[in-house]
Structure 1
Amino acid sequence: MQHLYFSARRLLVLAWFGLAGGAAQAQNAVESFESGTKADYQSGAVTLSTGSWTFEDALIGTSSEDHKSGAQAARLQNRGKLTMDFYLSAGASTVTVQHAAYGQDASSGFELYYQSQACNCNTWIKAGGTVISSSATPAQASFAVNVPGPVRFELRKVSGSAYRLNLDEFTVAPYNAAPVLPVAGDDDHLTMGNPSGAVADVSQPTNYLMQKLQFALSYHRDKGTPNWVSWYLAPKWLGSTRRQDDFRADPALPAGWYQVSTTSYSGSGFDRGHNCPSADRTSSVADNSATFLMTNMIPQSPSNNQQTWAALENYSRTLVDAGNELYVIMGQYGVGGEGVIRSTGQPDRPVSATTIDNGRVTVPARVWKVIVVLPTGTGDVSRVNAGTRIIAIDTPNQNGMTTNWGQYRTSVDAIEAATGLDLLSALPVSVQQLVESKVDNGPTQ
C-alpha cells in the first residue's frame, strides 16, 4: 500500500480549522519565541504569538550564542522559569520543546509542569522526568501529558545554576489529537517511505518516529535500538570533517524513557554499530556528531560491523562519487547474535547474547540494508523504474564475517517478509512489484 508523507511546517499561532462534514479539530499550539522582546533577566510579562508569558530569570535571546531554530529563543539562567499566563482550551496530549546549552555552557536540567483550569487551584503537576541539556546542538524533548480541557504550562530550569539554557519551539498537541504522518519530498530521509508508519507519538513506544537533520528513524523503547534508520546520501553530505567519536545518549528521547548510553555496550563483546555511518555525514561537525547518538546504534558483531558493513558503506560512497544519489534504509530483526570480548594479552573470547546492558538492549540476529541508487536529478520517486539499481542485503549478526557483502544479497520482498515492514512504500504499487522482487547482481567494488 502506498503511503504519503510530508514535512510539517511550523505553526506560529493557536487556531482552529474546519474539516469536511463540519467537524473541527484544534491545531498544535506552537510558541517559537520569534515575536516577543525581552533583553534582561528581570521578572516580567512578554507578549508572544500564543499569548502572554511570564519570564523569571529569563530573556529572549538573539545572539549567535543562542542556539535556536529561527532568529530568537528563550534563554534561562539560575532557576529561571517560563510560565503561560493563559490556558489552552483544547487541552494537551503531547508537549515537545527544543533545548540546547547556551553558547559553550555546560549541562543544565529543566522540567515541565502543567496546571488544569478545572482544579481551580494553584497546583502545578510535573510531567515526565528531568531533561538534561548538554549539547550546543538543539535537541527535542517530548512529554506525555494527556489533559482534557483548558491547561497551561510552566518550564523550570532546575539544575546547572551557573550555566544558561536555550528553549525554543514549544509545541502542544491538543488532547486526543490524531498523530500526523509526515510526507517527504526529494532529498528527504523519508522520500522512499516510512517503512513502519512510525509517528512521533509517545503512546507508540515501540515504533516512535525521530526525525533529525541527518537521518530519520523508528525507535523501539523496549529494545533500546532503532527498528530502522533511513537517510539520503549525496555529495552535499560528504566533506572533510573528522570522525567525532562522541558516543552519547540521545536527549531527544521522551522524558522518562531509558537512555541507552555509551557504557551500555561496555564489556559486551559487541560493537556500537552505526546505522547511518559516520563517514556518510562528514560535511560538518554537527552532522558527524549526530551519527554517534545511541539511537543510531545496534549491538553488532565486530566482524559484521568492521568487515561486511564497512565494505558496503565504502562501496556506497563510491557510487555517490560516480554521480549518483542514494536513499538508504538499514534495520535489524530477530534476537541473539555473536560478539567477541578482547582483552590485552588474552586470546579473543567469542560470546553469544540475546541482550546486553542488564537486558535493556536487545541483540539482533540479522542486520539488513536497502539502497536505492539513482543518477543525480529531481523527481526521485517518479524516476524509480524496472531498471533502477536497488541493493538489498541481509546478514547474520555473527562472528567470522568477511568484506564480501555481495554474497548476502537478497530481494526487498524477502526483507519485508522477514520484518513485516513496507519498504519503499512511497513508490507506486506497480513499481514496487517490479523492483522489490529482484536480487541485485551488479559490481561490489
Structure 2
Amino acid sequence: MSKTTLGLIAAGSAAAGASITALIFSSRSSTPITTPASTIPAPAPLTSGFPAPQPVLTPVPQPLPSTTLPLAPVNPPGVLKYGLTPAISDTSITPSHLAAYNRMTRNPHWVAEHFTPQSLSLNNASRRNSVFYEDAAIPPMFRAKLSDYFRSGYDRGHQVPAADAKWSQDAMDSTFVLSNMCPQVGDGFNRDYWAHFEDFCRNLTKSYPSVRVVTGPLYLPKQYPDGKWRVSYEVIGNPPNVAVPTHFYKVIYGEESLHNPTCKVALGAFVLPNTEIPNSKSLRDFEVPLEAVERASGLIFADKLPIERRKKLCSDINCEIMVREFDRVKQQRTALNAGQIAPAQIAQESRRW
C-alpha cells in the first residue's frame, strides 16, 4: 500500500482512513488534457494530373438574430428584489490571526497565523488572564455560543493555539474567540497528539526564521457496509448547530527568510482524524500532498508561489513530534501527592499512554 494511501489512518480509525483514501488521496493525472483540433480533413495532394477530392463541409448553424428570439416568459433574477444573501465567509483580522468563518458549520473555514523566533521568545501574556468568548462580529443566528459546548463531551479546540500568541495579552485573548474554535476530542487528541503537533510547528522556528500555518476543519466521508460513501458528523449545541469535524488539516510554510520576497519556502500538508491518536504514531503517517487538502477543503494554497521556490518540508527537516511523557508523569505524581487523584487513575492513564 502506498504512503499516500496510509496517510491518515490513525489507530482505531480504520473507517476514517479508508474515507481519506477515497476522497483526497487520488492524485491528479500529470497528463495534460487537450481539446481535439478540427475534424475537417486537409486536402489531399494532387496525383497524376487528377485533382484531389475535396472534403464535404457541413454548414454550421448560425444563431438567429436577437430580434427573432422569443421573449422569455420568466424572470428568475426577479427574486433578488426581495433580498437573497449568498453564503458568506465572515473574514476577520485579529492580533493573532486572519480567519474566515463558516456560518453553516459554526466553525472556521480556515485560520492563518504567523510566528517567528522573536515572537515566540516573548512572554507577555498568560492563559490565566484569558477567557473564552463569543464572536460579536458574527450575526447571533449564525454564531457559535458558549452554551453549545457545555457538557458536549468535546473541547473548545483552538485552531490558532494560545501558546503561539504569548507576545501580547491582546493577541493571546484573541485566540479564545469561539470563531477560532472547533469541537475536538479532548483526551488523546486536543490535549495530547494535536498539542504535540502544535509544538512541532513552533519548533520549526529553529530551522526557519519565519513560519506560517493555515489550519482548519474537514468533513470527510467514510464507506458504509452497503458500499456507499457518506459524510456523517455529529452536531452539538441546543439547538444542535455546531458541527464536529471528522478531521483537521494544517498547511505549513517554512520561509527561509523573513524579509527576502524571493526566498525558498518549505511546504508541508497534514491531515489528522478528530479522534484519539497514540503518541507513538509517526507524524509522517499524516503527511499528505498539498493537493489532497485542496480537494477536501475547496481551498487553493500557494498558487502564487513559483515551483522553483518550493521545497518539501519533510525532506528538509525531520517531521516527527516530540512527546514529553515524563512531564505528564511528573504532573500526575504531583497531583497524587496533593491528594487530587487516586493511584488507580495514574495506572489507568499510564496504560493509555
Name the TM-score class by shorter chain.
0.5 to 0.7
1:267 aligned onto 2:151: yes
Structure 2 unmatched ranges of 5 or more: 1-79, 223-231, 323-353
Distance 1:403 1:262 in 2: 34
Q: Residue 191 of structure 2: which of 306, 314, 317 is its match?
A: 306
Instruction: State the SS of the aligned residue for 1:232.
Output: strand
Distance 2:256 2:245 in 1: 33
Which structure is richer in relative contact order (CA contacts within 8 A, separation 6 or more)? 2
Give CA deviations for 1:224-280 in whole Å, capped at 9, x if unaligned: 000110111113433212114411101122x44433223311211111111111000
Alpha carbons 1:215, 1:230 under 8 Å: kept: yes
Distance 1:217 1:410 in 2: 23
Distance 1:257 1:431 in 2: 46
Give CA deviations for 1:274-325 in whole Å, capped at 9, x if unaligned: 1111000001111100000000001111122122211111122222245521
Equivalences, count: 224
Matched with 1:186 is none
Matched with 1:440 is 314
State the Cα distance separating 1:414 from its structure 2 match. 1.4
Alpha carbons 2:182, 2:244 under 8 Å: kept: yes
1:374 aligned onto 2:248: no
Give CA deviations for 1:23-67 in whole Å, capped at 9, x if unaligned: xxxxxxxxxxxxxxxxxxxxxxxxxxxxxxxxxxxxxxxxxxxxx
Give the alignment of 1:23-42 within 5 angstroms. none
1:286 aligned onto 2:170: yes
Structure with the higher fraction of residues in strand conformation? 1
Q: 1:439 to 1:279 in 2, by over 3 A?
A: closer
Instruction: State the SS of the aligned residue for 1:329.
Output: strand
TM-align CA RMSD: 3.0
Q: Residue 240 of structure 2: which of 359, 381, 388 is its match?
A: 359
State the Cα distance separating 1:427 from its structure 2 match. 1.8
Alpha carbons 2:158, 2:182 under 8 Å: kept: yes
Matched with 1:419 is 297
Matched with 2:13 is none
1:391 aligned onto 2:275: no
Alpha carbons 2:257, 2:263 under 8 Å: kept: no
State the Cα distance separating 1:208 from its structure 2 match. 2.4
Q: Residue 209 of structure 1: which of 86, 91, 97 is its match?
A: 91
TM-score (norm 1): 0.46
Instruction: State the SS of the aligned residue for 1:440.
Output: helix
Q: 1:220 to 1:206 in 2, by over 3 A?
A: farther
Give the residue type in structure 2 aligned to 1:216: L
Q: 1:310 to 1:259 in 2, by over 3 A?
A: same
1:227 aligned onto 2:112: no
Give the residue type in structure 2 aligned to 1:228: W
Distance 2:233 2:219 in 1: 12
Distance 1:392 1:331 in 2: 12
Alpha carbons 1:309, 1:403 under 8 Å: kept: no
Distance 1:400 1:392 in 2: 18
Give the residue type in structure 2 aligned to 1:309: W
Give the alignment of 1:130-149 within 5 angstroms. none
Give the alignment of 1:134-173 within 5 angstroms. none
Structure 1 unmatched ranges of 5 or more: 1-145, 148-201, 338-351
Alpha carbons 1:416, 1:422 under 8 Å: kept: yes
Q: 1:269 to 1:353 in 2, by over 3 A?
A: farther
Alpha carbons 1:249, 1:295 under 8 Å: kept: yes
Q: 1:218 to 1:431 in 2, by over 3 A?
A: farther
| Percent of paired sites with the same residue | 25
Matched with 1:258 is 142
Q: 1:290 to 1:269 in 2, by over 3 A?
A: same
Distance 2:170 2:140 in 1: 26
Structure with max Cα Rg: 2
Give CA deviations for 1:163-208 in whole Å, capped at 9, x if unaligned: xxxxxxxxxxxxxxxxxxxxxxxxxxxxxxxxxxxxxxx9454422
Matched with 1:316 is 201
Distance 1:290 1:270 in 2: 21
Q: 1:223 to 1:403 in 2, by over 3 A?
A: farther
Matched with 2:35 is none
Structure with the higher fraction of residues in helix conformation? 2
Give CA deviations for 1:361-403 in whole Å, capped at 9, x if unaligned: 01111101011112343134x323xxx4222110111134436
Alpha carbons 1:219, 1:225 under 8 Å: kept: yes
Alpha carbons 1:336, 1:364 under 8 Å: kept: no
Give CA deviations for 1:81-137 in whole Å, capped at 9, x if unaligned: xxxxxxxxxxxxxxxxxxxxxxxxxxxxxxxxxxxxxxxxxxxxxxxxxxxxxxxxx
TM-score (norm 2): 0.57
Q: 1:221 to 1:389 in 2, by over 3 A?
A: same
Alpha carbons 1:271, 1:299 under 8 Å: kept: yes
Give the alignment of 1:5-44 within 5 angstroms. none
